[in-house]
Structure 1
Amino acid sequence: MAIKLDIATYPGNIINNQFVPTPQTRSSINPATGENLFEVPIARKEDLDVAVAGAKTAFKSWSKTPFSERAKLLLDYADAIEANQQELALLLTMEQGKPLSLSNNEIERSLTWLRAFATMELRDEILQDDAEKTVYSTYPALGVCAGIVPWNWPILLGVGKLGPALITGNTFIMKPSPYTPYCNLKLGELAMHVFPPGVVQVLSGNDDLGPWITEHPSIDKIAFTGSTATGKLVAASCAKTLKRYVLELGGNDAAIVCEDVDIDACVPKLAMLSFLNSGQICMLAKRIYVHERIYDTFRDKMVAFTKSTIKTGSGMEEGVVVGPIQNKMYEKVKGLYAQIEKQGWKTALAGSAQDSASGGYFITPAIIDNPPEDSSIVTDEPFGPIVPLLKWSDEIDVIERANASKAGLGASVWSRDVKRAERMARQLEAGSVWVNSHFDVDPKIPFGGHKESGIGMEWGIEGLKHYTNSRSLWVWK
């Protein structure tokens, strides 16, 4: 049946396929204007308890539902999202700030992800088979899973947790970011019309809700995307009940550009992959190491491309690439821009924090010209539209510099010599490494972080296994 959303109404959290109002509500803001958006519920602990109880009950039958039926419902859910894409894209731009084209791209990716998960069945693996016995590795579902969703990609990273949980037989509770609750609540509203009660639930809340979820004794797994600092708190909280968790945390991705690249082809890609979504993506290029032989030319062409092509403004405006900073990160990024003069960093492109008359959180891109390696712009993830270019001449040295970060989410090497680039790429300490690209993701390919960029993997068959227990089954004949 056709389901059409009214994006302005939020009658309650989605618990057991019902709208459950709460005594208190709150609103987030439109970061392009500073104006309040719609009122949304603030979940109480008793609301979470009811949701968890419903999820536990639903798990008994959902985990026994045949894979083919779970897959069909996941496809039906993707169809319901697609039927509301226009409304959801507008809502996503209103609450998150990203350009409308990027909002549509996020939703289209989400549909691709859900439809891919619907084809991915975890099957028993035969480990030994002889005249006396057969030994299987089997993958029973964990139970009640919770997804703590970030504000930068709330739809994709919401369904990117929901899909694997459901297709492996778990029930799922989604917690949106307080900064971007609206689309996730609408995803829950659509789920009410597709899945049995208790299979998918969405609870909006304040800062208390996250710890209640991670400490809840009847939640079996947490999938968290967010900062490294918060991820450490999530891990400590999960340890109290020894619940499973997967953490996808901050990054400070290095991109190494070799002297033989086609500069005119490389510059537009790396500029976009530095400033996309206002730099508010953990897997963007955050440190660009350019060989000294081509450094000046590369720098000048990147500055020219950014000036001519990377437009800053409201996500509703045509041609905008850099929308507003989404939330209080604006002050952090402003502070980083203020460090440029204090630290004596040379700018290839100055950038500025705009005091918009409309109240929006707008910051134009900045490119820092070969700062010292120990500068905060190099060592810390800025999560804004600012990127340093750094010179290198020796392969061993640049790989050591790229690996010096505590983060290890992504990295890339750019070169016409693919064998050389692959050899260098294999030495980079990151969960995803690309040659002649950056920030490629696919629902059938696992991704996650090394070092302080995370624990465990999401997506792919490996990611699906994180929503199950590994069980060895010995069958003696």
Structure 2
Amino acid sequence: MANGDAHHIEVLNPATLSVVEQVPTQSAADLDAALRTASTAREEWLRVPQRSVYLEAVSELIAAETESIAQVLTAEQGKPLTQARLEVGVAARAFAYYAGQRLAPEVLHDDERRRVERHFHPLGVAGLITAWNFPVALLAWKAAPALLAGNAVIIKPAPTTPLSALRLQGLLDKVFPQGLVQTLVGGNDLGEAIVTHPGIGKISFTGSTQTGRAIMAGSAPYLKRLTLELGGNDPAVLLPDADLAAAVSGIAAVAFRNAGQVCIAPKRVYVPRDLHDEVVDRFVDHLRGQRVGDGADEQTTIGPVQNAAQATRLTRLRESVAADGGLLHAGASGPGDLPGYFVQPAVVTGLDESAELVREEQFGPLLPVLAYDDVDAVVRSANRTEFGLGASVWSRDLDAAVAVADRLDAGTRWVNQHGPAELDIPFGGVKQSGLGSELGREGLLAFTESRITNIKKQSDRTTP
């Protein structure tokens, strides 16, 4: 967690370790007050006939403030400004996308005897708990559908990246009824209070599998509706006929983006043994074109990792490579004498399935490349994990690639690409990678409950 006293958090710039800002924190008592305000605001919100107009206005405000939000995002999160601007754009488009969605009743059956309709009702107040890797995009992914559905929302950003959420809160306040959207800043105690509070009917969380399990346990007494987007250890499988240039370029673009802190990033690459060395050389060539540094520098392509705990964990994983018999292949320049949480990006060879870096989700710029001899064996290896968020298969033979992809245990299986998560496509994990879906229409329905209205049109009895 960021530094600070009992009532404030010091938000650090992860590249320079300087204090960006001190932010007041909120308590469980503040949550009670926020929920009282939210309840009143939601009554007003439910009377609004065209909620989509409000979402469109938010989209326009975010787009107009792209540069100022991106500057704040880079300062607290560390990612390069070019990536921060793209993330803000995703947030603007998320509000615009959901502004175009509708929740009209669905007619399930209609004949001379009866009509059956399915209606969608909001859940009340939704608690949105976001992660530090994409604090702006994740907030929009959750808040836009929750609000369109008629809910009030309480946003809890990660304690190391609250500033961009507060910046967005200022824009949301210009559009929505007072108290409908509120951002509370705090640590684990506040998160636990949100999860266990009886006044919150829905939790949408992005973060670790361990925390996701705790949320399930904490919310169980109230049978809260949950959407959990959790960890992943995504495999990328190159088949023997893969276009190596396209595969390496596509995998590297995601694996090292945001310093590797991407839920759906490829985290293990499986390559036919006779192509292994060439693929590794291509990855190293890619790294030679990268510059590690302060994200505020327009020349930087890979920034620091976001926080001290993640830097410490990645340092441990990096040190484990030699102990597990592996080799690190670096190539990027920088970061010079900057004091921040920098982890030199590298491709890693010589490891097997038992290596810590292969078994765990690294969530950083260390990418193991493993050789394989048999496609059936590599499918078993790819599935030998508790996670199942994403996976990709690369081949010129689309039928062969799809056949392999269909055998992979993942919520999304990409062919000849790895990512992106798209606004109109449901996104979620299997196994220990999550529960439910975000994005697309399913992401909207996740903030509603379904109620059936069954209408009898005429009597079943015949008239004598």
TM bucket (normalised to shorter chain) is over 0.9
Please tell me whether residue 345 in structure 1 is matched to residue 326 in structure 2.
yes
Provide the rounded CA distance (Å) in 1 between the counterparts of 2:35 and 2:264. Answer: 32
Report if the CA contact (8 A) 2:424-2:440 is conserved. Answer: yes
* CA 1:443–1:119: 2 relative to 1, 3 Å: same
Is the contact between residue 350 and residue 367 of structure 1 (CA under 8 Å) also seen in structure 2? no
Q: What is aligned with 2:301?
A: 321
The yes-or-no answer on 1:87 pairing with 2:68 is yes
Separation in structure 2 between the aligned mates of residue 431 and residue 352 of structure 1, nearest angstrom: 35
2:411 pairs with 1:428: no
Cα deviation 1:342-375 (Å, max 9, x = unaligned): 2221334488997x74421111111111411111
Of residues 259, 263, 279, the one that matches 1:278 is: 259
Taking the aligned partners of 1:126 and 1:72, their CA distance within structure 2 comes to 26
| Alignment match, 1:361 | 341
In structure 2, what residue type is equivalent to 1:48?
L
CA distance in structure 2 between the aligned counterparts of 1:324 and 1:359, rounded to whole angstroms? 10
Other structure's SS at 2:47 match:
coil
CA separation in 2, counterparts of 1:305 and 1:360? 23
Query: Residue 321 of structure 1 aligns to a residue in which SS?
Result: coil
Alpha-carbon distance, 1:188 to partner: 0.9
Match of 2:157 among 163, 168, 176: 176
**2:209 alignment counterpart:** 228
Q: What is the alpha-carbon distance in structure 1 between the residues aligned to residue 125 and residue 22 of structure 2?
A: 28
- Whether the 8 Å CA contact 1:181–1:204 is kept in 2: the answer is yes
Give the C-alpha shift of residue 105 in structure 1.
0.5
- Whether the 8 Å CA contact 1:258–1:414 is kept in 2: the answer is yes
Equivalent in 132, 135, 157 of residue 151 of structure 1: 132
Bigger drift between 156-165 and 48-57 goes to 48-57
Match of 1:411 among 383, 391, 394: 391
**8 Å CA contact 2:290, 2:333 repeated in 1:** no
**Over residues 160-209 of structure 1, what are the superposed CA-to-partner deviations in whole Å (9 max), with x where a residue is unaligned?**
10001011111111111100000101111111111011211111122211
How many angstroms does 1:264 deviate by? 2.0
* CA gap 1:353/1:239 in 2 versus in 1, 3 angstroms: farther
Shift of the alpha carbon at 1:23? 8.9
TM-score by length of 2: 0.94
Asked whether 1:56 is paired with 2:43, we answer no
Where in structure 2 are there 5+ consecutive unaligned residues? 458-464
AA aligned to 2:371 is: K
Is 1:47 matched up with 2:26?
no
Q: What residue identity is the alignment partner of 1:333?
A: L
Alpha-carbon separation, structure 2, partners of 1:272 and 1:93: 19
Moved more, 226-235 or 393-402: 393-402
Q: How far apart, in 2, do the equivalents of 1:319 and 1:38 lie?
A: 25
- Aligned residues between the structures: 452
Q: Could you say what secondary structure the match of 1:208 adopts?
A: helix
Match of 2:431 in 1: 451
- Percent identity of the aligned residues? 39
Give the conservation status (yes or no) of the 8 Å contact 1:65–1:169: no
Distance 2:64 2:453 in 1: 43
Alpha-carbon distance in 1 for matches of 2:424, 2:107: 22
Asked whether 1:162 is paired with 2:153, we answer no
What's the C-alpha RMSD, in Å, of the aligned pairs?
Answer: 1.7
Pick which of 94-103 and 115-124 moved more: 115-124
Residue of structure 1 in register with 2:120 after alignment: 139
Which runs of structure 2 are paired with 1:92-103 in the superposition (5 Å)? 92-103=73-84
Distance change >3 Å, CA 77–CA 351, structure 1 → 2: closer
Name the CA distance, whole Å, in 1 between partners of 2:368 and 2:337: 29
Q: Aligned in 2, Cα 1:267/1:23: closer, same or farther, shift over 3 Å?
A: closer
What TM-score, normalized to structure 1? 0.92
The residue that corresponds to 1:121 in the other structure is 102
Match of 1:437 in 2: 417
Q: CA deviation at 1:28?
A: 1.2
User: Which sits farther off after the overlay, 397-406 or 221-230?
Assistant: 397-406
**Alignment match, 1:335:** 316
Instruction: Give the direction of change, closer, same or farther, for the CA distance of 1:52–1:230 in structure 2 (3 Å limit).
Output: same
Report the alpha carbon displacement of residue 402 of structure 1 after superposing the two structures with TM. Answer: 0.8
Aligned partners of 2:43 and 2:123: how far apart in 1?
11
The partner residue of 2:444 within 447, 452, 464 is 464
Task: Answer whether contact 2:426 2:441 (CA < 8 A) is retained.
Answer: yes
- Is the contact between residue 446 and residue 462 of structure 1 (CA under 8 Å) also seen in structure 2? yes
In 2, the alpha carbon distance for the partners of 1:117 and 1:250 equals: 26
Q: Which amino acid in the other structure matches residue 36 of structure 1?
A: V
Question: In the alignment, which of 54, 58, 63 is matched to residue 77 of structure 1?
Answer: 58
Contact 1:149 1:175 in 2 (8 A): yes
Q: Is the 8 A contact 2:284 2:331 kept in 1?
A: no
Distance 1:360 1:50 in 2: 38
Distance in 1 between the 2:349 and 2:27 partners? Answer: 49
1:61 shift after superposition: 2.8
Corresponding residue for residue 245 of structure 2:
264
Deviation per CA, 1:133-166, whole angstroms, max 9, x where unpaired? Answer: 1111211111101100100000000011000101
Distance 1:78 1:219 in 2: 26
**Separation (CA, whole Å) in 1 of partners of 2:58 and 2:202:** 23
Q: Which moved more, 1:258-267 or 1:400-409?
A: 258-267
